[in-house]
Amino acid sequence: MTLPLIEISGTPLDRGRQYGEAVRPRLHAALAYYEEAFGHSAGLTWQQVTARAARWLDPVRDYAPDLVEEMRGIADGAGVDLLDVLALNARGEVIYDRSFAKMAETRAGEAATEERADGCTSFAAYGDASGDGRVWAGQNWDWRAGVADTVVMLRIVQPPKPTLIMQVEAGQIGRQGANSAGIAFNANGLGGRFTDAVGLPQTVVRRRVLDQHAITDALDVLCRTRAHIASNALLTCREGFAVDLETTPAGHGWMHPTDGLLVHGNHYQAGVPAALAADYRPLSPDSLVRVPRAEQGLRALRGSTGPDESRKLIKQAMSDHLGHPESLCTHPDPRTPAVEHWTTLVSSCVDLTGGDYHVTAGTPCDRDYQHLPWNLYDGPYGDAG
């Protein structure tokens, strides 16, 4: 099994239409899944979900009008409404919105428990941590098993901005990936509700990060932009540098690698924000297992003699099953309803030195990495050094 490959170019509207046409069946499947999921978790109809998502239309248009045009094109190409596409791009924001929590509490008749954070384990390895001398970045992206068939690999050619390669759910304009400037972006949900003020959706923030040519400009996006929900951002660049930012509406924390290795999961590792500190508990307790297990497994990279061996060692590390099914390599838990099943949707492994991008179409323990035909630095707009 391999992930579908989609390449788009041209104006924002043209790019969106190409994208929407290419993913039409998958986008409709995503809408059907989220309609069921929101109905199951909060009793919301899809019309109520899109009505909630509409609050992000003006903020996104003010910040990135080109991305609204791209979403409009996706909607045209897929035969859906703009608010359908916006809802797919703001699905995390709808889940973590304070009004959602209040409604869930009312519906349950008791204090609402928060939806678990986007589960992911991200890494960067270079310098002393990389025996082959290359710069590696990647992650296990854990999310709802019900959207597995909607995931695609997207290449966006958008001069003068860098060319992007990302793994996304059909219809999303940004998630995690790397660009032709040699910058990789990996992300992890953190959880926690903050204020009622409206910030930008993560898909918009992450896309803008990958639209940058310099690591400092990418950091500037994360530090100067107010996102609606908390999320962890691990930036790695081919020059051999990485920095991790735990971004929240109430402030940021940051970490740098130790001896060239940095791993982040779904709990606050740089420090719990003051707004949450009084009663903070990790929303994904398994993160406390996944992070040290990934660190332990990835230390084997120090002995690698080349990129082929490095990929095998990364695959082995990211296939760890301690705590199965809520392990580093996540599998659906048969004790929960099917609509709530989680799994590792994609395991990614990017060689920022050579530009090769590898992914698995699902859990890495039982399938090989798919070597994408697109090198990060190929083409007239690549920034190969």
Give the pLDDT confidence of 330-356 residue by residue, as tens digits: 999 999 999 999 999 999 999 999 999
308-316 contacts, C-beta under 8 A, 24 or more apart = 309/132, 310/130, 310/131, 310/132, 310/134, 310/136, 310/351, 311/349, 311/358, 311/369, 314/136, 314/138, 314/349, 315/347, 315/349, 315/360, 315/364, 315/368, 315/369
Instruction: Say if residue 68's pLDDT is above 90.
Output: yes
Task: Report pLDDT for 107.
Answer: 40
Would you call the peptide bond into 160 cis, given omega within 30 degrees of 0 as the criterion?
A: yes
Q: Which CATH class is domain 119-371?
A: alpha beta
pLDDT of residue 380: 60
Distance (Å) of CA 317 to CA 243, 276, 301: 21, 32, 10
What global pTM score does this model have?
Answer: 0.93
| Domain locations along the chain | 12-108, 119-371
pLDDT in tens, 235-244: 999 999 999 9
Q: pLDDT digit string (tens) for 291-312?
A: 999 999 999 999 999 999 999 9
Percent with pLDDT over 70 in the chain? 92
Does 319 or 276 have the greater pLDDT score? 319
- Grade residue 116 by pLDDT with cuts at 50, 70 and 90: low
Q: Which residue has the higher pLDDT, 176 or 196?
A: 176
* Confidence band for 191, pLDDT divided at 50, 70 and 90: confident
Per-residue pLDDT of 29-64, as tens digits, reads: 999 999 999 999 889 999 999 999 999 999 999 999
pLDDT score recorded for residue 105:
42
The average pLDDT across 169-175 equals: 97
pLDDT at 379 over 90: no
